[in-house]
Amino acid sequence: MRILLIIAVILAVRFILNLSKYLRTKKYHDAYISWLSIERESKIVAARAQVVALLKDASVKDSYVGTVQPAGYGYMATANASVMDNFPNAREDFAALTNAMFLQALGTYRSRMLQTFNPLFWIEFLIHLPRYALRYLGVSPDAVVIKLAQIVWWIVCAVFGFLYAIYRPDLEAAIKGIIRNH
């Protein structure tokens, strides 16, 4: 019973966190659209750090816009300007990319909320647990250490499954004894 309660709490926390991020992203998106079309209030400018953090948390990649400015003496300076670094920006090309980034973040958070109740997601999560853990720690998805950790994880799970099949009654008794003592 205690295990079911722990699982329910984990699911509820995951859903609530993603719902909160979805609602905050929606609020900032609506504020940005209002900022673009109605009046240039400073509220959205003050929320820049929160907006960028939400977009990055949703794994939205930064976009870049090519800019050209006169540098004087007949020369032109060209550069690529980051959309996130220049948030909020009312220029049409920046606004279109910013809107797309908001929509991508909203879709990501909605998807994460739905994944909370998808058993196939959790099965895949357990199968690839080292990959998720190491990515969370900042290891590149193409790193060899992720592949090695994944192979070790599969071997450990296979050995545990084999041992569980052979020593099931003894392991169940040991686990029940541990649960009773705690």
Q: Per residue in 70-85, pLDDT tens?
A: 877 878 888 888 888 8
Total domain count, the chain: 2
Residues 132 and 108 in one domain: no
Sequence-separated contacts (24+) of 47-51 with Cβ below 8 Å: 48/87, 48/88, 50/24, 51/87
Tell me, yes or no, whether 124 lies in a domain. yes
Where in the sequence is the domain holding 125, given as residue range(s)?
Answer: 118-182
The residues facing 68 across adjacent strands are 78
* Residue 107 pLDDT: 96
Residues 41 and 51 in one domain: yes
- Please tell me the pTM assigned to this model: 0.77
Chain mean pLDDT for the chain:
88
Tell me, yes or no, whether 83 lies in a domain. no
Task: Kindly indicate the confidence band of residue 11, based on its pLDDT and cuts at 50, 70 and 90.
Answer: very high
* Residue 40 pLDDT: 72
The mean per-residue pLDDT over the stretch 19-43 comes to: 88
